[in-house]
């Protein structure tokens, strides 16, 4: 990459054909497998405590629509460190690692932990992964259907009450 651009690496999941956005990261993906949904819910709960957010979380609201921001890492080793043991499990569930070339003037925040960039200004250099092993379900935004479908795990819900089975009744 030239000095006018930088490499950014992301973990992404394909969204169904005709969806508003073709590729989304695990924290914001609207469609995942039931197993990936469970992994992401657990990972997100952990990362809320252990991983830094952008310096100003409201920054995402400042870049709406076509100027929306994506988060990534400045190298593949940093991406692997960010996701740790979750990465191979999410790749098995249909995740892809995407290498972007991002013009420096499209980089909104560049910290040692993550890079925020204007999505439409970035170019895909390479995307590698494989199709999800099971059907995708409506996900991540807290869909009750996906929580129920992701059964036998930490976030099981009892269909009759709609409450987490891990909480006292």
- The verdict on residue 104 lying in a domain is yes
Residue 24 lies in a domain: yes
> Is residue 17 domain-resident?
yes
User: Is residue 122 assigned to a domain?
Assistant: yes
Q: What pLDDT, on a 0 to 100 scale, did the predictor assign at position 55? A: 65
Q: Is residue 168 part of a domain?
A: no
Report yes or no on 113 lying in a domain. Answer: yes
The answer as to whether 73 is a domain residue is yes
Identify the CA nearest to 10 among candidates 123, 100, 104, 93.
100
**Assigned domain for 155 exists:** no
> How many structural domains compose the chain?
1
Question: How much of the chain exceeds pLDDT 70, in percent?
Answer: 78
Of 28, 66, 54, 52, the closest CA to residue 108 belongs to: 54
Q: What is the pLDDT of residues 116-154, one digit of tens each?
A: 999 999 999 999 999 999 999 988 554 434 444 444 544
Tokens at residue 64, please? Answer: 């709406």
The pLDDT mean for the chain works out to 81
pLDDT at 158 over 50: no
Domain, as residue range, for 34: 5-149
Residue 86's H or E segment, with its range, is helix 86-92
Taking every pair of Cα atoms in the chain, the longest distance, rounded to a whole number of angstroms, is 58
State the pTM of this model: 0.77
What integer pLDDT is reported at residue 6 of this predicted model? 97
């Amino acid at each position: 990459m030239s000095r006018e651009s930088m490499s950014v690496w992301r973990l992404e999941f394909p969204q169904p054909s005709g969806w508003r956005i073709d590729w989304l990261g695990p924290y914001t993906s609207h469609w995942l497998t039931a197993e990936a949904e469970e992994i992401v819910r657990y990972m997100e709960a952990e990362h809320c405590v252990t991983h830094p957010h952008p310096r100003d979380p409201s920054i995402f609201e400042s870049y709406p629509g076509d100027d929306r921001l994506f988060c990534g890492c400045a190298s593949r080793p940093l991406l692997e460190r960010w996701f740790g043991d979750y990465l191979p499990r999410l790749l098995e569930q249909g995740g892809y690692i995407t290498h972007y070339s991002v013009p420096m003037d499209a980089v909104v925040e560049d910290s040692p932990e993550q890079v925020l960039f204007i999505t439409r200004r970035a170019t895909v250099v390479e995307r590698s992964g494989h199709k999800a092993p099971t059907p995708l379900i409506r996900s991540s935004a807290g869909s009750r259907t996906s929580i129920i479908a992701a059964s036998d795990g930490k976030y099981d819900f009892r269909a009759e009450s709609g409450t987490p089975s891990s909480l006292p009744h």
